[in-house]
Amino acid sequence: MSREAVFNLVVLAGLVALPLYAHLSDAPFTITLATRAVILSLAAVGLNIALGIGGLVSLGHAVFFGVGGYAMGILAFHAQTYAPLMEWPFVVEGTKSMPVIWLVAVVFSALVALGIGLLSLRTSGVYFIMITLAFGQMFYYFAISWSAYGGEDGMSIYVRNGFPGLNTLVPVQFYGLCLVLLCAALAFNAVLLRSPFGLALNAARQVPDRVRAVGLDPFRLRLLAFVISGAITGLAGALFADLNRFVSPTMFSWQLSGEFIVFIIIGGTARLFGPVAGAVLFVALEHFLGGVSDYWHIWFGLLLLGVVLFGRGGLIGVIAGRGRGHD
């Protein structure tokens, strides 16, 4: 077994063992923190399909995160106020059921990704980075002025949504649910990497001319990758909204899109567990550094700079040795 595989197993074991530790040491907040890390990991795993395999540096992935969050917020808001979502041509009621919310979140973020992808994948390089950023800003300002759903204030959902057979209000149970989804996404990612689609997408990042020359269209490959990526990040958004029982336009902010990229880089680009390692590290740093100094962003910035300049390959690169780079 390679060192990377060992590392992945250790991370996974840690995530599974954590609730046990938290239970024994009576630290329920540790679970909340871990849930946050797991959900952000899921969002970054989504982005990594576009960025790590497809080479699409999207600085607007918070859009999908936000769409997923608002899907949850809007459905739950209508459920808690007993006002139907729409009455014509047929009545659509809100819901507090997580599976339904997840489905809606995934479908809508996939549709948004399809729309954004169709337009922005015509560009490449810096233009792609910038046009995704612009779409992010568009959604951000739209959410701020969408007063029906709280505008800048966002929306509070007073009780976490339910999942059949579980009590999601118990932190460990919600954590378990998120962890299962993260593992499912990682498994899907692993399968994808070995599939014909993974092969073709990977090649489309490295040698698009070759991919065309064998009769495949890189645009379509990238578009599909972008849609899948957006759907997974959207699912993470719905979970994040449920974790906080709150949605707001900050879920669309470009800084959040930047942070998703940060997770992937500090974890290790194009590593299966890179986004997970990065997000866990980020949440831990935010928690501990934030306690040490008011100016913790400086230290975090320096750390990030160090990783980019000297620690290529991220955390996993340092631990497991060099894999393939991302350039």
By beta-carbon proximity to another protein, the closer residue of 60 and 176 is: 60
At its nearest, how many Å lie between another protein and the CB of residue 90? 27
By beta-carbon proximity to another protein, the closer residue of 7 and 240 is: 240
At its nearest, how many Å lie between another protein and the CB of residue 221? 7
By beta-carbon proximity to another protein, the closer residue of 173 and 250 is: 250
By beta-carbon proximity to another protein, the closer residue of 3 and 122 is: 122
At its nearest, how many Å lie between another protein and the CB of residue 83? 14
Contact present, 101 and 76 (Cβ < 8 Å): yes
At its nearest, how many Å lie between another protein and the CB of residue 102? 19
Question: In Å, what is the CA distance from 15 to each residue of 26, 49, 53, 172, 321?
Answer: 17, 22, 25, 12, 23
Q: Give the count of beta carbons closer than 10 Å to the beta carbon of residue 13.
A: 10
At its nearest, how many Å lie between another protein and the CB of residue 74? 16
Helix (H) or strand (E) holding 156: strand 155-156
- Which has the closest alpha carbon to 189: 42, 35, 2, 316? 42
Return the residue matching tokens 């576009």.
50
Question: In Å, what is the CA distance from 152 to each residue of 41, 143, 191, 323, 324?
Answer: 26, 7, 40, 43, 42
By beta-carbon proximity to another protein, the closer residue of 193 and 319 is: 193
Q: What is the DSSP letter of 86?
A: B
